[in-house]
Structure 1
Amino acid sequence: MPKLNFATSGKVLEVPENSNILRMSLRFDGELPNRCGGGVCGSCVCKIEEGTVDHIKVQERRKLGEEWLSKGFRLGCQAFITDEDVTISWNEEVTDEVKKRKLDHPKKKVTSTP
């Protein structure tokens, strides 16, 4: 089983493959900040320090944008551990910045009906 290392809180958990980071934090008191659990508020933003997680979700692109994603940040509620150990960290300043970001809305095509 892979290990999930919460560098900020100092906790290390053995978790099943394909585990959601936020769910594991909630279940085993990893202390990752959270609020909505749906990728809207940004409270669970964390940096992947070591290891890799699954693919970036649409909701993460909308909330974090390419700038934060390119720096290794993900939303714990959207990110899943695959089959290797992962280390994450978080800090209040980044969390506050992300929480203030508005969701990027995809451009909708405007069509007129006759």
Structure 2
Amino acid sequence: MPKLHFITSNKEFEVPDHSSVLRMSLRYDGDLPNRCGGGTCGTCVCKIEKGLENVDKVKPAEKKKLGEELLEQGYRLGCQTFVNGDVSLSWDPEITKMVQKRKIVKLTAAK
């Protein structure tokens, strides 16, 4: 079973494969901030510190809310991210505030 390490709250849990970061935080009191659970508020933004290769692909909701710059730095939305191996993540209240204030970017189709 994968290990999910919440660095900021100093908690670590074994979780089932294909587990949602946010759902596991709620289930085991990992303390990841959250509000909507649907990818629009940005409250559950977290940085994948280790194990980026063990998370699923970026969802459209994350691209819209976080933008390419934050995604390239390893930030993801906990409600949209699923783990398939050991992952360590952290969160920063200042980044959370910034992401919450961001307007959702409309994605354009590639030509």
Structure 2 length as normaliser, TM-score?
Answer: 0.94
The superposition leaves residues 20-79 of structure 1 with CA deviations (integer Å, 9 ceiling, x where unpaired) of 000000011000000000000000000000002100000000000001001000000000
Q: How does 1:1-114 map to 2 (within 5 A)?
A: 1-52=1-52, 53-82=55-84, 84-107=85-108
What runs of 5+ residues in structure 1 fail to find an aligned partner? 109-114
How many angstroms does 1:106 deviate by?
2.9
How many angstroms does 1:105 deviate by?
1.4
Instruction: Let me know the Cα RMSD of the aligned residues.
Output: 1.0
Code of the residue aligned with 1:11 in structure 2: it is K
SS at match of 1:54: coil
- How many residues are matched? 107
State the identity %: 60
- C-alpha distance in 1 between matches for 2:65 and 2:92: 17
Largest Rg, 1 or 2 = 1
- C-alpha distance in 2 between matches for 1:49 and 1:77: 17
SS at match of 1:63: helix
- C-alpha distance in 2 between matches for 1:17 and 1:40: 25
SS at match of 1:65: helix
What runs of 5+ residues in structure 2 fail to find an aligned partner? none
Structure 1 length as normaliser, TM-score?
Answer: 0.91
